[in-house]
Amino acid sequence: MKDILSAIQPTGDMHFGNYFGAVKNWVDLQDKYSCAFGVVDYHAITMPTNYQKLRNNTWELIFNLLAVGVNAENLFIQSLIPEHTELSWILSCFSSYGQMTRMTQFKDKSAKSKEETKDSFISAGLFNYPILQSADILLYRPKFVPVGKDQEQHLELTRNIAQRFNSLVGKEYFRLPEILFTETPKIRSTANPEIKMSKSAGEKHYISVFAEESRLRKQIRSAVTDTGRTNDGDMSQGVKNLFELLKASGQTEAYKSLLQDFENSSLKYVDLKDAVADGLLKMTRAFIEKRKEIAANKKNVKNQIKQSSWEIRKIAQETIKNVKDLTGLINVRF
Residue ranges in contact with ligand ADP by CB under 6 A = 6, 8-9, 11, 17-18, 21-22, 147-148, 150-151, 185-187, 196-200
The distance of closest approach from Cβ of residue 99 to ligand ADP in the complex, given in angstroms and rounded to an integer, is 19
CA-to-CA distance for 166 and 170, rounded, in angstroms? 6
The distance of closest approach from Cβ of residue 158 to ligand ADP in the complex, given in angstroms and rounded to an integer, is 13
Catalytic residue among 2, 24, 196, 247: 196
Angle at 75 between CA 70 and CA 76, to 5 degrees: 160
Query: Is 109 among the residues known to form the active site?
Result: yes
CA distances from 153 to 99, 142, 149, 170 (A): 10, 18, 9, 26
Angle at 60 between CA 76 and CA 312, to 5 degrees: 5
**Looking at beta carbons only, is 94 or 189 nearer to ligand ADP?**
189
Catalytic residue among 2, 109, 247, 273: 109
Query: Is 306 among the residues known to form the active site?
Result: no
**Looking at beta carbons only, is 10 or 323 nearer to ligand ADP?**
10
Catalytic residue among 199, 256, 273, 324: 199
- Residue with the CB atom nearest ligand ADP in the bound state: 21
Query: Is 196 among the residues known to form the active site?
Result: yes
The distance of closest approach from Cβ of residue 200 to ligand ADP in the complex, given in angstroms and rounded to an integer, is 4
**Looking at beta carbons only, is 150 or 278 nearer to ligand ADP?**
150
Amino acid identity at 101: T
The distance of closest approach from Cβ of residue 166 to ligand ADP in the complex, given in angstroms and rounded to an integer, is 25
**Looking at beta carbons only, is 157 or 320 nearer to ligand ADP?**
157
The distance of closest approach from Cβ of residue 115 to ligand ADP in the complex, given in angstroms and rounded to an integer, is 17
Beta bridge partners of 8: 39
The distance of closest approach from Cβ of residue 203 to ligand ADP in the complex, given in angstroms and rounded to an integer, is 12
Is 24 within 8 Å of 69 (Cβ atoms)? no
The distance of closest approach from Cβ of residue 106 to ligand ADP in the complex, given in angstroms and rounded to an integer, is 13
**Looking at beta carbons only, is 112 or 324 nearer to ligand ADP?**
112
**Looking at beta carbons only, is 204 or 314 nearer to ligand ADP?**
204
**Looking at beta carbons only, is 206 or 255 nearer to ligand ADP?**
206
Catalytic residues: 109, 196, 199
